[in-house]
């Protein structure tokens, strides 16, 4: 393997997806920030969920909001539905893995909350069911996706679909967009 060529190829692809993301998602990002600000100003919370690497992103972003992103400030109400192993295993055992997030959304969310599902393919059944439960409760069902958006198209709104078919590039953009959301919320809420 030519490691130098591999290194350059990976960074070139990343840079191209950054440019495509900038061109494609500015408006949806602004919409997501707007719905999150309204939610938080009305006493709501932001809830993140996803599987695998997206579960890690959910935890990372919820922590950035509840603790701090760029400076010391008051906490922002956020949580990840991927961290309670007792809930995850009980729901998986008693109701099935597909109900993992829908059951938790039904338990902890209230109308007006923002639920952000994260799925690189848009095909994750448990994420889709979580977003469906959120909409049924009057929550904002938003998402980070990739490729063509999969089955989350028409369900998630706002929906930030990263313009790439490469899972690793989609994941890189998800964490970048998520951290940008954190920074924008600190500023928009007057906390930065």
Query: Model-level pTM?
Result: 0.97
From residue 78, how far is each of 1, 5, 46, 108, 160 by CA, in Å?
A: 44, 41, 5, 11, 19
Q: How many angstroms separate the CA atoms of 130 and 122, rounded?
A: 12
Among residues 1, 94, 104, 92, the alpha carbon closest in space to that of 48 is found at 104
pLDDT of residue 27: 98
The confidence score (pLDDT) of residue 71 equals 87
Sorted by where each begins, the domain ranges of the chain are 3-188
100 and 91 Cβ atoms separated by less than 8 Å: yes
pLDDT at position 103: 98
- For 3-188, CATH gives 3.40.50.10490
pLDDT means over runs of 10, the chain (192 residues): 96 98 98 98 98 98 96 95 97 98 98 98 98 98 98 98 98 98 95 68
**Predicted pLDDT at 12:** 98
Rounded distance between C-alpha atoms, residue 69 and residue 180, angstroms: 10
Residue 68 Cα to chain centre, angstroms: 17
The whole-number pLDDT of residue 191 equals: 79
């Amino acid at each position: 393997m030519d490691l130098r060529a591999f290194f350059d190829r990976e960074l070139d692809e990343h840079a191209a997806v950054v440019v495509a993301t900038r061109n494609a998602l500015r408006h949806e990002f602004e919409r997501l920030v707007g719905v999150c600000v309204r939610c938080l100003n009305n006493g709501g919370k932001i809830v993140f969920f996803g599987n695998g690497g997206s579960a890690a992103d959910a935890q990372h972003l919820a922590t950035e909001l509840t603790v701090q992103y760029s400076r010391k400030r008051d906490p922002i109400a956020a949580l990840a539905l991927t961290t309670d192993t007792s809930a995850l295993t009980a729901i998986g055992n008693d109701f099935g893995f597909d109900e993992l997030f829908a059951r938790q959304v039904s338990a902890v969310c209230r109308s007006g909350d923002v639920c952000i599902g994260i799925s690189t393919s848009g095909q994750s059944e448990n994420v889709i069911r979580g977003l469906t439960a959120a909409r049924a409760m009057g929550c904002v069902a938003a998402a980070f996706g990739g490729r063509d958006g999969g089955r989350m198209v028409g369900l998630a709104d706002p929906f930030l679909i990263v313009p790439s078919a490469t899972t690793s590039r989609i994941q890189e953009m998800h964490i970048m967009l998520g951290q940008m959301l954190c920074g924008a919320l600190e500023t928009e809420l007057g906390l930065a």
